[in-house]
A and B are shown apart, each in its own frame.
Chain A
Amino acid sequence: MFKKILLCGFVAFGVAACGNGGDNTSETSVAKVEAAPSASGRDQIKIVGSSTVYPFATTVAENFGRSTSFKTPIVESTGSGGGLKLFCSGLGDNYPDITNASRRIKSSEVELCAENGINDIVEVKVGYDGIVVANSTKSDRMELTLRELYLALAKDVPDGKGGLKPNDYINWSDINPALKDTKIEIMGPPPTSGTRDAFVELAMEGGCQTFDWIKALKKTDKNTYKAICHAFREDDGFIEAGENDNLIVRKLNANPNALGIFGFGFLDQNGDSVQGSVIDDTLPTFENISDGSYPVSRSLYFYVKKDMIGTVPGIAEYLTEFTSVRASGQDGYLSEKGLIPMNAEEHAQWQSQVRAQKTLSLN
């Protein structure tokens, strides 16, 4: 028995010793990999950025990898802001070549890029995404206006006398007697999410601006305006449900009275269990979002470092694939995944602009 234990001990030490050996080999292989890029460059495209664009970017990446001789690009989901930060922190093999964003790049980010030597950025518009306010198909479809939505969600609401009061709307019928007599319960994404940013900008501000005196504030006192329009209520009327939109869909099924805020892609895939509310007389459908009549919709983009095109093999081909009609066009495979494509004219315009590798200039 004792011999066995000794043996075990030695085997373990042998492994440990091999460990050092193994480590050495892995270090040399690192050295090799590190030596290689300086000579021939990385051979795999690196993509970071928005979790909203992630399903589309991965789909294109997969198709691109399968149908060409290039390696399948790596796509990380870091969020729009995080992606742009990584993207702008440097030029070269250790930084991503492409970043996805569910909003347009900001001038501060362009400056950051320029500071780190990234001057030529190619902007590519992917298409549109709608943010839906949905509930379970077990209850009736809601018909809301942006104003009602704002009143249901805001921290403080106008008291009708030119001032503000804490949000005391408990039931939908308190806001508008025509609405149903159930408790206001809305589940939405946390502040870190791009969906939340877009929702605040489009829906909350949209509803907020239906009050003339708040709209006037925007020009005179921007901070107060933001405080009024951007703050969500902190009682149980609004529930932060985490980044996982699937979870919101499941919670809606469990609670037919609740509403959930998430991207159109999830509504599209789960149409048998949830339905999108009518907002300002417009249903969130494919057509209504692409023609811009649905009020809560945004554009999706990705950004490419022009200097890396040609350095990392396949970037130009990836761009061609992404902007092709069969991918992001009207009946392209991305529309299967819930992307709302641009109309043919706009698509063609972006396609030729990307082909020409036109660099971004913000005005």
Chain B
Amino acid sequence: MPDYLLTTSPQMAKRHARHSRFQWYGRIAIGISISFMLLMFAAIFARGTGAFQKTMIAVDVEFTESVIDPNGSRAEMDLKQGNYKPLILSGLQKVVPGVTERKDRNNLYKLVSGGAAFDLGERVAANPDMIGTNQRVWIAASSEVDLYVKGKVDVESDEAIRRLKDQDIAWINMLQDEGRVKKKFNRVFFTSGDSRAPEMAGILSAALGSFFSLLVCFLIAFPLGILTAVYLEEYAKKNRLTNLIEVNINNLAAVPSIVFGLLGLAVFLNFFNLPRSTPLVGGMVLALMTLPTIIIASRSILRSIPQSTRDAAMGLGASKTQTTFHHVVPLAMPGMLTGTILGMARALGETAPLLMIGMVAFIVDIPKGVTDVATSLPVQIFLWADSPEKGFVELTSAAIIVLLVFLILMNLFAVYLRRRLERRW
């Protein structure tokens, strides 16, 4: 054997070095991306997980009939609108003695959420037998108290610049000593709509808004996208017109989403007079936005189906339509569904087009259908991130977690479909 094959020449060493160097570049690149991702997740989770719990205060409430329902009508609306504030206040005063002055009473009442009285009203309306009894009820603490109990208030700082004063903290400690303060699972966050008070705000209306929008988006974009792709790929002749259409579709996929919002405003709202701020219009705009993505993905899937499949079907006497719908489309369907789901996942994260059609709004009521006004998850995140109250910092991150969970679920579903149904040739 010649010598030069056994000894490593300097050239050889160089090549090996280049090889391993390149591998290291790749690993470093992956490492950097992963660490950024972990950093993002860590930041969001560190801030957001607190919001899944909220502070509740136990108050012994005397449900006095003369205060709640002076007429004795027991009508639902009267019970809901009864004056519950003095009842809660006197319950608190029993635990914190010596609070008599008006200003102090107001401060004491601020320990509980501004929505607590409405909440009690709903409980009483649901169960009128409570009237006349004395019960210990857990009511939501105000956002400031919540932040304090979670250790997010710097008690060492100057009292003048703190929203929670020393006296308030002393009262909370008094309540805590009696075991009247505890953190509970934040059910409101998952069961209610937006609110200006962080402790009363929830994600449900936004999540449902997103759901209805995506439903409309899917129902429009999926059939249209698939039919367009199948026609263009399997039936249409290659000529100037189809070339033009193809170029346009590719261009549309790259158009910024706000443009679709403007289009929606001009066409759906101003021309067709569809109702503003509704998931119906939102879904239609999002459908316009995802259509090009679906068409492009579906066409590339159809193109990847081997010609032999078509030839074999044709050879056995199938018609063009039979070939397409019995063989080509079923084989391409998993890929097309995957493309659709990925397109919809992008639509789930959009705010810009929704801005133009009025879905960026303060909406408390839970939408029940596609024509009820609604916002969407990313819009809710945007609105909360812009709110001055400190409690919303936590909620913003919690809403991001919810959005991420939805995105991950959708992407996992796409992966599952691909794994489960994909065929290799």
> Chain A residues in contact with chain B, CB under 8 A?
1, 4-6, 8-9, 12, 15-16, 18-20, 22-23, 26, 29-30, 33-34, 44, 46, 51, 54-55, 57-59, 61-62, 65-69, 71-72, 74-77, 94, 137, 243-246, 265-266, 268-272, 275, 331, 333, 337-338
Contact = CB atoms under 8 A, between A and B. Distances in A.
B18 interface: no
Interface string B194-233: 0111000000000000000001101110110010000000
B386 interface: yes
A193 to B, nearest CB: 12
Given A6-B330, A9-B329, A270 B388 contact: yes
A71 B365 CA distance: 8
A338 B388 contact: yes
B53 interface: no
A337 B360 CA distance: 21
Interface string B69-81: 0000000010001
A173 B128 CA distance: 69
Interface string B324-338: 000001110110110
A65 B81 CA distance: 11
A55 B196 contact: yes
B333 A9 contact: yes
Determine the main DSSP class of A at the interface with B: helix
Nearest to B359: A76
10 contacts: A4-B421, A26-B280, A26-B370, A62-B196, A65-B364, A65-B365, A66-B115, A67-B118, A76-B362, A246-B386
B161 interface: yes
B330 A246 contact: no
A61 B334 CA distance: 47
Contact of A272 (B154, B360, B365): B154
Nearest to B161: A271
Interface residues of B, number: 57
Nearest to B340: A12
Contact of A44 (B163, B195, B274, B373): B373
A19 B220 CA distance: 7
A307 B81 CA distance: 29
Which of B161, B330, B363, B421 is most buried by chain A, counting CB atoms within 10 A of its CB? B330
B423 interface: yes
A64 to B, nearest CB: 10
Contact of A337 (B77, B81, B196, B276): B196
Given A19-B223, A246-B386, A58 B196 contact: yes
A204 B398 CA distance: 40
Nearest to A6: B330
Contacts of A270: 388, 390
* Best-surrounded residue of B218, B329, B333 (most CB of chain A within 10 A): B333
Which 3 pairs, one residue from A and one from B, show the smallest C-beta to C-beta distance? A9-B330, A19-B219, A75-B362
Contacts of B21: none
Contact of A76 (B163, B223, B336, B360): B360
B14 to A, nearest CB: 46
B385 to A, nearest CB: 6
